[in-house]
Amino acid sequence: MSKATITFIGGGNMARSLVGGLIADGVSASRLRVADVNIDSLERLRAQYGVATYADNNAAVQDVQVVLLAVKPQAARAVAIELGATLERQRPLIISIVAGLRSADLARWLGYDAAIVRTMPNTPALVQSGATALHANLAVSSTQREQAESIMRAVGLTLWLDNEDQMDAVTALSGSGPAYFFLVMELMQRAGTALGLPPETARLLTLQTAFGAAKMALESPEDAATLRQRVTSPGGTTEQALKVFAERGLEQIFGDALAAATRRAQELADQLGRS
């Protein structure tokens, strides 16, 4: 993968994090290009990473092996139509991180049977701690699958999906998931402060507890339920708190919330495909 030339169409935060992650992984900046309409963004990327930058999308994709589409959903159709003829001649791998854009819709806008890997990264990718689901269409070769996985692994965990329809559930779970954890942390801080802790103390204890719990879960062979049981002493304080969560229907709340997010992801994908 390090020998492939990669063009990013869109130079926003996610593209910036991927560029930084790839360079940290040993990919030469000379093999990375970024195109964007925002000249200030391009100047910052060039100054920070030494990558080639372009204001013209078609110029940026000349003679490249991988094109990573990182534009806003509302701009995706116009960009795909603009690039279609050039990309059809070259047949690079297309990696899409456009939220809600189905592979079939992107291929239709491009105008040919493009090799497309659709991905759903989440915002912790900005600190190289992301979780990314990937789905390859039938035109993607095994080598291209490896290229896509290597690129996205530069910003965190990668997992393949056999069924693209599962991407809506991924969006609900890990795509939107950071907000759920931020909400829990926000509420824990607020409760700690209400119980008499100084706000900064409540904040630091909450953040370190969240970090420690996640680290334990990642490094343990046990599942989350087992880890929870191990820190819940019969008749103790943790048991009392968990009892309240159960009585108030926390499991049902999470189930309903993720179902609502999945439905909305499906609706947005339908709307984007019709645009």
Token pair of 244, please? 């309240």
Whether residue 1 has pLDDT greater than 80 = no
- Confidence band for 3, pLDDT divided at 50, 70 and 90: confident
What's the mean per-residue pLDDT of the chain? 96
Distance of CA 77 to the CA centre of its chain: 20
| Residue at a domain's end among 140, 170, 200 | 170
Share of the chain above pLDDT 70, in %: 99
Does the model's pTM come out above 0.75? yes
Output the CA–CA distances (angstroms, integers) from residue 140 to 73, 95, 136, 189, in the order listed.
22, 10, 6, 46
Please indicate, yes or no, whether residues 124 and 204 belong to a single structural domain of this protein.
Answer: no
Question: Kindly report the CA angle at 89 between 85 and 92, in degrees rounded to 5?
Answer: 100
What would the mean pLDDT of 29-50 be, rounded to a whole number?
Answer: 96
Measure the CA–CA gap between 92 and 64, rounded to whole angstroms: 7
Contact, 168 vs 262, CB < 8 A? yes
Query: Residue 31: which pLDDT band, with cuts at 50, 70 and 90?
Result: very high
| Predicted local confidence at residue 275, as pLDDT | 75
Residue 142: its H or E element: helix 142-152
Residues 162 and 110 in one domain: yes
Q: Other C-beta atoms within 10 Å of 4: how many? A: 18
Q: Do 129 and 22 sit in the same domain of this protein?
A: yes
- Does residue 163 register a pLDDT over 60? yes
Burial of 114 per CB tally in 10 Å (0-12, 13-18, 19+): buried
Among 38, 37, 40, 89, which residue's Cα sits nearest to residue 67? 89
- Pair type for strands 66-69 and 6-9: parallel
Which structure tokens are listed for 206? 């909450």
Does residue 42 have a pLDDT over 90?
Answer: yes
pLDDT at 150: 96
Say if residues 101 and 73 touch (Cβ distance below 8 Å). yes
Q: What is the mean pLDDT of residues 45-55?
A: 97
Q: Which of 139, 170, 201 is the last residue of a domain?
A: 170
Q: Is residue 248 part of a domain?
A: yes
Same domain, 90 and 143: yes
- Single out the residue in 170, 187, 217 at which a domain terminates: 170
Strand residues in 97-230 grouped as ranges (E): 115-120, 130-136, 156-160
Would 1 be classed as within a structural domain? no
Residues 139, 258 within the same domain: no
pLDDT of 2 > 60? The answer is: no
Q: Is 218 within the bounds of a domain?
A: yes
pLDDT in tens, 13-26: 999 999 999 999 99
* Domain span holding position 126: 6-170
Judge whether 229 lies within some domain: yes
Binning pLDDT at 50, 70 and 90, where does residue 160 land?
very high
Pair 117, 189 in one domain: no
Question: Is 182 in the same domain as 203?
Answer: yes
Examine the domain organization and report whether 157 and 27 are in the same domain: yes
How many structural domains comprise the chain?
2
**High-pLDDT (> 90) share of the chain, %:** 98
For residues 93 and 152, the answer to whether their CB atoms sit within 8 Å is no
pLDDT in tens, 170-188: 999 999 999 999 999 999 9
275 vs 121, higher pLDDT? 121
Q: Classify residue 121: in a domain, yes or no.
A: yes
The predicted model gives 121-145 an average pLDDT of 96
Please compute the mean of the pLDDT values over residues 122-150 and round it to a whole number: 96
Q: Considering the domain boundaries, does residue 274 fall inside one?
A: no
CA distance 62 to 52: 13
For residue 184, give the CATH number of its domain.
Answer: 1.10.3730.10
Q: Same structural domain for residues 148 and 179?
A: no
Q: Give the CATH number of the domain where residue 50 resides.
A: 3.40.50.720
Same domain, 159 and 239: no
Task: Mark whether 239 and 161 lie in a shared domain.
Answer: no
Write the pLDDT tens digit of every residue in 220-233.
999 999 999 999 99
* CA–CA distances in Å: residue 134 to residues 3, 86, 154, 170, 264: 22, 25, 14, 10, 20
Residues in a beta bridge with 159: 133
Token pair, residue 143, equals: 């080598």
Q: Are residues 132 and 191 in the same domain?
A: no
Give residue-wise pLDDT tens across range 236-253: 999 999 999 999 999 999
CA 127 from chain center: how many Å? 11
